[in-house]
Structure 1
Amino acid sequence: MPLSWAFFASFLLAAAGYILGRSRAFATAGPDARALHSRPTYHGTSVGLMALLPSLGVLAVAAILRMAGVLTDETGPVVGILALVAAVIGLGLGVTRIGRQYQARNAVERMVLGLLMLCSLIAIVTTLGIVLSLVFETGRFFQVYDWKTFFFGTEWTPRFQGNSQLGILPLLWGTLYVSAIALLVAVPIGLFAAVYMSEYASRWVRGFVKPAIEVLAGIPTIVYGLFALITVGPLLRDYFAQPLGLGNSGTSVLTAGLVMGIMLIPFVSSLSDDIINAVPQSLRDGALGLGSTPSETVRQVVLPAALPGIVGAVLLAASRAIGETMIVVLGAGAAAQMSLNPLEAMTTITVKIVSQLTGDSDFNSPETLVAFALGLTLFVITLALNVVALIIVRKYREQYE
């Protein structure tokens, strides 16, 4: 029996348990359902959860053991049978517990609480697993490649035949350069759009403008990349780079930054708009009552009150910019170099992670293991952004409160 069949069969047994438990609760209560401690719905839910949770537990343990190499594909039918047996046993125990004094509601709340705690634990364990996998593979990389050359090297020329130069500085420079241009485009436009929609626009205009802006968030990044490659890149080359003598390439940092900034506008505008609307109206009324103009109220009252949320929106946009790949591949090129000229082609860390892991890779070579060191570097940068954001928010809150 495939595990997927056992998974769906467990849900079917849980549904049958809910119906059976609810019917049994009505039968136990007689003509007056108020004789029960809990409503029949809770009795049915209790039986359904007691049938579902043990089965899911068996399947989860089996999946972990399979990833660890303890179980093989041949053990799948056995695991499926065990999962169904656990579901049937749980269903039977749940039905036998139904009675007038059975506290089904309390039992359901405890099971749901445990399930919520398990989901939180899964998120924590997943994050820990990601970090540890990056750390261990990065440790393997630094065993075969000098860390000083990696962190302070200014040349990126990987050669799988040996004698590679794997300096991260050109990639880090390209990542920060493209992200900075994108944020310079997205943050002012997104924030001003949010202020307009929340403070000045009529209800009809807001109902049209906000969905129109949020459409940008639903466009696939490959489409943005093609837009950068076909439209924005040639436009910048023909009207800026070549006339000014700054380059002849259609791919450049400015191309990727502009297109990425357009993509990030909804992240800033939509979140900032929601945060600004959450500011109590009493603050606006108080400022206007003291003689402030609407613009002064926005600058000195609304935006300071919404600053923590705005910082979060900007941080989300920055993290999105740092992790973007497709727009950079098609818009900025793949040249690992350090230059102040925004009309030259450069590349980012994410692009090189993909290129180093593409094809038949030997996970014992430094040219492949370097991808994990690059990934860990991105993780540290994002973590630093979060720390800076927390410092800004806490400092502001101390002054405001």
Structure 2
Amino acid sequence: MSIALRKPIELFRKTWMQIALSIILILPLAIGFSLLYKAWPLLNPDDLGKLLFGSVWSPSQGNFGLFPFISSSVFVAGVGLIIMIPVCLSSAIYITQFAPRWISRILRAAIDILAGMPSVIFGLWGVITIVPIVGNWAKQQGAQNPTGYSILAAGIVVSISVMPYVLNMLLELFESVTSELKETALSLGASHWQAIKDVFLKKLKPGIIASFTLGMSKSFGETIAVLMVVGNVVQIPARIFDAGYPLPALLANNYGEMMSIPMYDAALMLSALILLLIVVFFNYLSHKVIRHYQAKA
């Protein structure tokens, strides 16, 4: 290729890469500003506290209290995180440190299958399996809601749907540790488990925290699977057996309906904006954790 042709070709390649990068940078801002624009009619500073912390949701009467939906989202994601942490961490340790190679290949294939499974499949499985189990347990505990459609059922389903996402990150983390580090710990008299606990986990601590933080942000956005098992009752859940109504379920169930009600569209866009800000916050938090531990290293 001649020098005369090389310069315009290189310029073209550089230009389209910059355009692609600009789209990636602009897209989140465009989504955020469009949601803010649609929610703006409700963003009166005097009424913002009532919107965020109000418990009454009655669009026909102009009451748009979003706190039941926000609290339900937090409860579902929190229950999912509590379930995810021991399962994902122990699975990642076993697959990378203890499992024979053939078992590791089978488990990785299973994780990949789960990662590609549609959310609605997890939801149907939750309705068929998890909801009856939780319902029976709720009856034994004398819960007010014995149906099984609850925060607990939603937390279990969302944890299972997000686990492959977190597990893949943890597997990459554990495989990034050099074998020399492990061999050094073993040569100093440490057992296999002591090397994992005192060397691997300490070295990978920022990455592990960031993985679960990103997993929790993904839990907030799960829609169909959660919608099918959470109960969709507008209330502030006080117990894990109570039904809830997370923000994604609110949007999926109501957008496009009753748009003739004043400010209803703005209230739904505000809930979408809150959901976006929650996800952005957890992503920012994961990056801060990584930078904090890198600075200490």
Fold match (TM-score > 0.5): yes
1:300 alignment partner, SS class? helix
2:196 equivalent to 1:298:
yes
Match of 2:81 in 1: 183
* One-letter amino acid of the structure 1 residue matched with residue 234 of structure 2: A
2:180 equivalent to 1:282:
yes
> Residue deviations 1:241-295, cap 9 Å, x none?
1122102223111111111111121112121001110122222222222222211
Q: TM-score, normalised by structure 1?
A: 0.70
Q: Runs of 5+ in structure 2 lacking a partner?
A: none
> Residue deviations 1:331-381, cap 9 Å, x none?
01111211322112111011112233133624x821121111111111221
1:113 to 3, 6, 14: 14
Match of 1:387 in 2: 284
> Which range is displaced more, 371-380 or 174-183?
371-380
Superposition pairs of residues 116-131 of structure 1, within 5 angstroms: 116-131=17-32
2:127 to 217, 226, 229: 229
1:214 alignment partner, SS class? helix
CA RMSD, Structure 1 to Structure 2 (Å): 2.0
Superposition pairs of residues 2-401 of structure 1, within 5 angstroms: 38=1, 101-142=2-43, 146-159=47-60, 163-238=61-136, 240-246=137-143, 247-359=145-257, 361-362=259-260, 365-399=262-296, 401=297
1:146 alignment partner, SS class? helix
Quote how far apart the aligned CAs of 1:196 are.
0.8
1:396 alignment partner, SS class? helix
> 2:211 touches 2:286 (CA, 8 Å); kept in 1?
no
> 2:123 touches 2:225 (CA, 8 Å); kept in 1?
yes
Quote how far apart the aligned CAs of 1:313 are.
2.2
Percent identity of paired positions between Structure 1 and Structure 2: 24
> Residue deviations 1:101-154, cap 9 Å, x none?
544334322211211111000111212211111121221222599222101212
> 1:228 touches 1:255 (CA, 8 Å); kept in 2?
yes
Structure with larger RCO (C-alpha < 8 A, sep 6+): 2
* One-letter amino acid of the structure 2 residue matched with residue 147 of structure 1: L
2:257 alignment partner, SS class? coil
Quote how far apart the aligned CAs of 1:310 are.
2.3
Structure 1 residues 263, 365: closer, same or farther in 2, change over 3 A? same
* One-letter amino acid of the structure 2 residue matched with residue 308 of structure 1: P
